[in-house]
C-alpha cells in the first residue's frame, strides 16, 4: 500500500522528471515553426548550430532530399559508400534534432571503428548480413572495454549509444545496405585510428609510439596506410 508521503515523493519525482529531462536533448529545441539553416562562411559570429533564414522565405525544398534509394560511389580503400542527410544537405533539419544516412558495405568490408560525438545512431538493415559491435567501458578497469556484438539480418534494428566506439562488418557474400537515424541534426563522425594517425597538425611520433605501444618504424607504416 502506498502511503501519503510515498505518493507525494512519486508525484514530485514525476513532475521533476517532466521538466528536467528535456534538458538532456542533444540539439537546440525549436522555438518557432521553422528555422531553415543559412550558410554564411563570411560571418564572424558563430552559434551553436545554424542561423535561420526568414521563415517567410522557407520553401518545400528546404525540407526535402532525394537519393537514399541508390548507393553512392564506394570508397575503394574501405569498400563502403555513405550518403548523409544532415542539416547541411537538408537545411530544414536545423533545430529539429534528427538526421539520417544510408550506408552500403561491400562483402568482407569494414565500416571503420568510429564514434558520433553528438548523436545516438539507430541502424536498420535493408539487405545483407552484418556483424556489428559497440565498446562499452569497464568500471573495474579504465584501460579495458567490453565488446557487445551481434549478427544483423534484413529488418533487424540496432542502436549505438552516443559517443561509443562501434563498427559494422559485412560478413556475407553480398553487398549490405542499411539506414541510420540520429537524434542530432549533425551527429559528427570520428574514425579510429585514422583520425589519430592522420590528424592536423600531426601528433608526435614519440607520443603515437607510446600510445599504441609500437616503435617509430611501425608508426611510419601506420601513417602510410592512413594518410
Specify binding-site residues for oxalate: 116, 121
Binding site, residues?
114, 116, 121, 166
CA distance 40 to 171: 43
Answer for the pair 112, 192: CB distance below 8 angstroms, yes or no. Answer: yes
Of the candidates 40, 39, 90, 86, the one whose C-alpha atom is nearest the C-alpha of residue 60 is 90
Binding site for Mn(2+), residues?
114, 116, 121, 166
Amino acid at each position: 500500500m502506498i502511503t501519503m508521503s510515498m505518493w507525494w515523493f512519486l508525484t514530485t519525482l514525476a513532475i521533476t522528471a517532466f521538466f528536467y529531462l528535456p534538458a538532456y536533448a542533444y540539439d537546440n529545441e525549436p522555438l518557432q515553426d521553422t528555422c531553415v539553416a543559412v550558410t554564411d562562411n563570411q560571418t564572424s559570429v558563430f552559434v551553436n548550430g545554424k542561423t535561420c533564414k526568414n521563415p517567410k522565405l522557407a520553401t518545400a525544398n528546404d525540407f526535402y532530399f532525394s537519393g537514399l534509394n541508390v548507393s553512392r560511389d564506394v570508397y575503394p580503400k574501405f569498400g563502403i559508400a555513405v550518403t548523409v542527410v544532415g542539416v547541411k544537405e537538408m537545411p530544414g533539419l536545423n533545430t529539429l534534432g534528427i538526421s539520417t544516412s544510408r550506408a552500403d558495405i561491400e562483402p568482407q568490408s569494414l565500416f571503420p571503428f568510429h564514434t558520433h560525438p553528438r548523436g545516438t545512431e539507430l541502424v536498420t538493415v535493408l539487405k545483407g548480413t552484418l556483424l556489428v559491435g559497440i565498446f562499452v567501458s569497464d568500471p573495474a578497469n579504465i584501460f579495458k572495454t567490453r565488446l557487445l556484438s551481434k549478427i544483423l539480418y534484413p529488418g533487424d534494428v540496432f542502436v549505438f549509444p552516443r559517443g561509443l566506439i562501434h563498427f559494422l562488418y559485412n560478413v556475407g557474400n553480398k553487398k549490405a545496405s542499411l539506414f541510420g537515424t540520429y537524434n542530432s541534426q549533425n551527429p559528427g563522425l570520428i574514425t579510429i585510428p585514422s583520425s589519430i594517425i592522420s590528424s592536423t597538425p600531426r601528433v608526435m611520433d614519440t607520443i603515437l609510439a607510446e600510445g599504441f605501444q609500437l616503435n617509430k618504424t611501425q608508426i611510419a607504416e601506420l601513417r602510410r596506410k592512413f594518410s
